[in-house]
């Protein structure tokens, strides 16, 4: 059984070395999630965890505001938590905009062009005194492109179920698969299915 958010953070902090990668598979965009959930980010901020990075967080509104403000601007933004109740609430985030670029990275989408790729679009990197946040990105390459340097972090949270492993396992000392809320949650019984016919494995029988 996978640890919940606080147990995952406890495990990560217990290691003397790093980086420790925490996989937030419940918010994996490759599985259909919005990639804007804030559950893990909020707990890291509330617990005062430093030396951490998290991403990608899909938030075109925050990207637009930061891009218009320009690189180096100090902003108070509401990050993430915009698509649904499974995204959590936005996190109020006072940070300095570290880069404002139109990324050259491609990422796969379920509804892509004839080549199976789609441009990721504009990207943004933020930093407060404790945590880096980047949006959007895919795999380790775009994170490096925005100079987050995962190998230098104590904790790196990726919005991924498994595809991150090939690249991040090269730098990660430990990998933890967190059981967090989200639209691609590991426990399917936590999702509000309304039209599925039961019984259907692995869902439990309908409550009468």
Over residues 65-108, the pLDDT tens digits come to 888 888 788 888 899 999 998 999 999 988 777 655 554 443 33
Question: Is residue 116 over pLDDT 80?
Answer: no
- The reported pLDDT for the residue numbered 202 is 79
Greater confidence, 120 or 25?
A: 25
pLDDT over 90, % of the chain: 31
The CA distance from 183 to 190, in Å, is: 9
Tokens at 47, concatenated: 């617990």
- The reported pLDDT for the residue numbered 181 is 92
Total-model pTM: 0.77
Nearest in space to 58 (alpha carbons), one of 96, 109, 20, 7: 109
The CA distance from 137 to 43, in Å, is: 22
How is the chain split into domains, by residue range? 5-183
| Helical spans, DSSP H, in 15-150 | 39-46, 60-69, 140-145
Question: Is residue 42 over pLDDT 90?
Answer: yes
Greater confidence, 81 or 122?
A: 81
83 alpha carbon, distance to own chain's centre: 14
Sign, CA torsion 65/32/196/40 = negative
- The reported pLDDT for the residue numbered 48 is 92
């Amino acid at each position: 059984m996978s640890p919940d958010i606080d147990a995952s953070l406890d495990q990560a902090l217990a290691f003397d070395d790093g980086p420790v990668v925490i996989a937030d598979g419940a918010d994996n965009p490759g599985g259909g999630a919005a990639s804007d959930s804030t559950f893990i980010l909020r707990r890291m901020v509330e617990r005062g965890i430093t030396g951490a990075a998290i991403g990608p967080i899909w938030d075109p509104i925050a990207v637009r505001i930061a891009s218009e403000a320009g690189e180096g601007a100090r902003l108070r933004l509401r990050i993430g938590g915009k698509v649904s109740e499974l995204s959590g609430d936005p996190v109020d985030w006072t940070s300095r905009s570290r880069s404002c670029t139109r990324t050259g990275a491609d990422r796969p989408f379920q509804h892509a062009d004839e080549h199976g790729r789609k441009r990721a679009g504009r990207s943004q990197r933020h930093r407060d005194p404790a945590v880096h946040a980047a949006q959007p990105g895919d795999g380790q390459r775009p994170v490096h492109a925005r100079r987050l340097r995962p190998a230098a972090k104590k904790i790196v949270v990726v919005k991924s179920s498994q595809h991150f492993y090939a690249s991040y396992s090269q730098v990660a000392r430990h990998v933890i698969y967190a059981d967090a809320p989200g639209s691609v949650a590991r426990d399917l019984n936590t999702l509000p299915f309304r039209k599925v016919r039961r019984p259907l494995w692995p869902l439990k029988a309908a409550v009468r």
